[in-house]
Amino acid sequence: MKTTSVLSRKPSLIEIVIFVTLFVLSVIMISPFLWMLSIGFERTANLQPPFPPSFFPKQPSIFNYELVLENATLFKSYLNSGFVAICAVCLSVASSLLAGYAFSKGQFYGKKVLFLVVLGTMMIPMETRLIPLFSMFNKFGLINTYVPLIAPAILYGFGILLSKQYFDQLPDSLREAAQIDGSSEKRTFFQIYLPLTGPITATLAILSFLDSWNAFLWPLVVINDHALRTIPLFLASFSFENGTRLGGLTMALATASILPIVVVFLFLQKYIIRSIALSGLKGE
């Protein structure tokens, strides 16, 4: 009876306004991607981009995407981005979970101050860290390698914050019971708490993957070798060299470059919502 009454209830005026507003905003947000997809399928877009912009190609063709699949340089960039993203995800997830557990369940001197320092790293723009980071990696001779693309993922301030908030919601009695049974801190984390971190682990993996895959400024500074270019660098180089002369191919390349993150996000977005809800970021 209660379910039937809820389903039969007419939406209020405020709910209708909110729904219409969100629908309009979603259309505005997704329209550039639809336009990009349309130009990629436009056969004549390499000669002259369609104007005014249209969401439906006048001469549909998969010619541009066939060229994309035959592009060996793009495939190499995919491999570079995939390798860097996977390594960055592993490092950031592992370090975030370990640090989050330490800040949540551990007892050590200066814990609050150190946690504030970690949170402070979230407020420092990447642009202000470019020169010292570049100088450090250059001093060790690591420029034009994968290391500077992967190593900064070790300190993921937002991931540590999410992990700590998540571990705060897990009962301390589990750790106390393990200590009574003689379990070490390492065993307590890996065998008791770690199996409970599925949602937050998935969320950290998604967010870290998105950050690594979309990174442009930092790879642009530390990578000069074309063989090591990631997807954003390859797409920027291609767009700069060809401009609107090959608009259809450029848009097809752009579509191919964002396809992995779209697929990953669509399939795993529920974990982001679930973990944030469980981590209590709204406060207690």
**Which of 201, 200, 174, 198 lies closest to 188 in space, CA to CA?**
174
Q: Answer whether residue 281 shows pLDDT above 50.
A: no
pLDDT in tens, 143-200: 999 999 999 988 888 999 989 988 988 888 888 888 888 888 888 889 888 888 888 8
% of the chain beyond a pLDDT of 90:
20
Of the ranges 4-8, 243-247, 249-253, which one carries the lowest mean pLDDT score? Answer: 4-8
Give the pLDDT of residue 7.
Answer: 55
Q: Which residue has the higher pLDDT, 200 or 245?
A: 200
Positive or negative CA dihedral for 210, 213, 217, 222?
positive
**Which of 221, 53, 18, 233 lies closest to 130 in space, CA to CA?**
221
Q: Which residue has the higher pLDDT, 212 or 8?
A: 212
Q: Classify burial at 134, counting beta carbons within 10 Å of its beta carbon; exposed 0-12, middle 13-18, buried 19 or more.
A: middle
Domains and CATH numbers, the chain: 2-64 (no CATH), 71-279 (1.10.3720.10)
pLDDT in tens, 116-159: 998 888 888 888 888 899 999 999 999 999 999 999 988 888 99
pLDDT in tens, 31-78: 888 888 888 887 776 666 666 666 777 777 787 887 777 777 888 888
Of the ranges 8-22, 45-59, 74-88, which one carries the lowest mean pLDDT score? Answer: 45-59
Give the pLDDT of residue 284.
Answer: 42
Q: Classify burial at 17, counting beta carbons within 10 Å of its beta carbon; exposed 0-12, middle 13-18, buried 19 or more.
A: exposed
